[in-house]
């Protein structure tokens, strides 16, 4: 199998679904001739035509509103928001229309569309190009929220999202677009939504991450292994619905839990995981649940490395848990 980047895997997945299903259409700012900011859709418009790869005005509300209309009329749009920080002008359409359509029509209509967007820090983008708003969307009934951490999962999760009958928010960790490589089959395949993956077996402590932070967790686990601490690492993959069974099984085995994400701590998705574990596996815990996260501040430019969790901060949390 060829070894490719996460960005190339996403491009492969999009291309495969457009070849397979003529109902799949792409919309976004500069995604046509330019191929988008990260050149993910380079060559798509030339191959599939301007009717299926649509360069839009700089209007996120227009992009999402148009996509909802297309989905309601039988197509499967995949709109791109250039950076997730720009998604907020379309927030009303996403949470009040896109997410609610199946419910408000008693199942007569669905909105099968995937909103793709780069998210997170790590590229010195400042506070308008580095946000991690996954918890906003996880809080909205009717939306699935997906965040891949590696090329294989990225392609399979994107294909599953496009084939899903309901709307999906698909957030892509841009820091690792080209920094992470892996073997990916050339043929289409699906990775099920709602299933976490144990990426490293362990006995002493459970680490949970997703996106870029999964790699931070793996680095921390490797560091403390030299000290005799065995960490089990879980890649959440799907934020909503999330795989609580896999989490509970791991925590009941290890007795300790550290959750890592780059979004701010207060009301971040780690809080929901911590609450669910506390409700269902409290007596299995040997130490308090610890969250290693971004700060409750706007995302900084010059202090990006201080803001983002790194392996050292996760190692400190592991030591705190083990020494409790």
So which residues are the catalytic ones? 129
Distances from the Cα of 244 to the Cαs of 33, 177, 248, 270, 291, in angstroms?
Answer: 42, 27, 6, 12, 17
How many Cα neighbours within 13 Å face the side chain of 211? 26
Alpha-carbon gap, residue 250 to 254, rounded angstroms = 6
3-state SS, residue 231: strand
Phi/psi of residue 264, each to 5°?
A: -55, 155
What is the DSSP track for 137-190?
A: HHTSTT-EEE---SHHHHHHHHHHHHHSSS-EEEEEEGGGTTT-EEE--SS---
Rounded CA-CA distance 230/78 in Å is: 41
Tell me how far apart the alpha carbons of residues 187 and 161 are, in angstroms, rounded to a whole number: 17
Phi, psi (degrees; rounded to nearest 5) at 89: -60, -20
287: DSSP letter? S
Collapse the DSSP code of 232 into the 3-class scheme (helix H, G, I; strand E, B; otherwise coil) and give the result: strand
């Amino acid at each position: 199998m060829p070894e490719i980047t996460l960005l190339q895997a996403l491009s492969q997945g999009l291309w495969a679904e457009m070849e397979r299903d003529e109902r799949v259409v792409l919309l976004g700012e500069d995604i046509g001739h330019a191929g988008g900011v990260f050149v993910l859709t380079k060559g798509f418009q030339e191959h599939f035509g301007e009717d299926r790869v649509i360069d839009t005005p700089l209007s996120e509300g227009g992009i999402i509103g148009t996509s909802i209309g297309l989905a309601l009329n039988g197509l499967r749009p995949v709109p791109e928001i250039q950076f997730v920080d720009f998604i907020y002008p379309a927030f009303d359409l996403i949470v009040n229309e896109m997410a609610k359509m199946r419910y408000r029509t008693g199942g007569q209509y669905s909105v099968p569309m995937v909103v793709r967007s780069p998210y997170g820090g790590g590229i010195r983008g400042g506070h308008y190009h580095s946000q991690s708003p996954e918890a906003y969307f996880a809080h909205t009934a009717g939306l699935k929220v997906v965040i891949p951490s590696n090329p294989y999962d990225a392609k399979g999760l994107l294909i599953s999202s496009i084939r899903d009958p309901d709307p999906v928010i698909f957030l892509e960790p841009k820091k690792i677009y080209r920094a992470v490589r892996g073997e990916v089959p050339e043929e289409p395949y699906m990775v099920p939504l709602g299933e976490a993956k144990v990426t490293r077996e362990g006995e002493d402590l459970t680490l949970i991450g997703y996106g870029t932070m999964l790699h931070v967790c793996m680095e921390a686990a490797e560091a403390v292994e030299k000290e005799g601490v065995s960490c089990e690492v879980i890649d959440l993959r799907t934020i909503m619905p999330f795989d609580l069974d896999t989490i509970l099984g791991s925590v009941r085995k290890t007795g300790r839990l550290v959750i890592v994400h780059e979004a701010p701590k207060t009301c971040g998705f780690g809080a929901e995981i911590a609450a669910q574990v506390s409700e269902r596996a409290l007596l299995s815990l040997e130490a308090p649940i610890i969250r290693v996260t971004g700060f409750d501040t706007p995302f900084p430019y010059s202090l990006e490395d201080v803001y983002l969790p790194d392996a050292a901060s996760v190692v400190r949390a592991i030591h705190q848990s083990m020494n409790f």
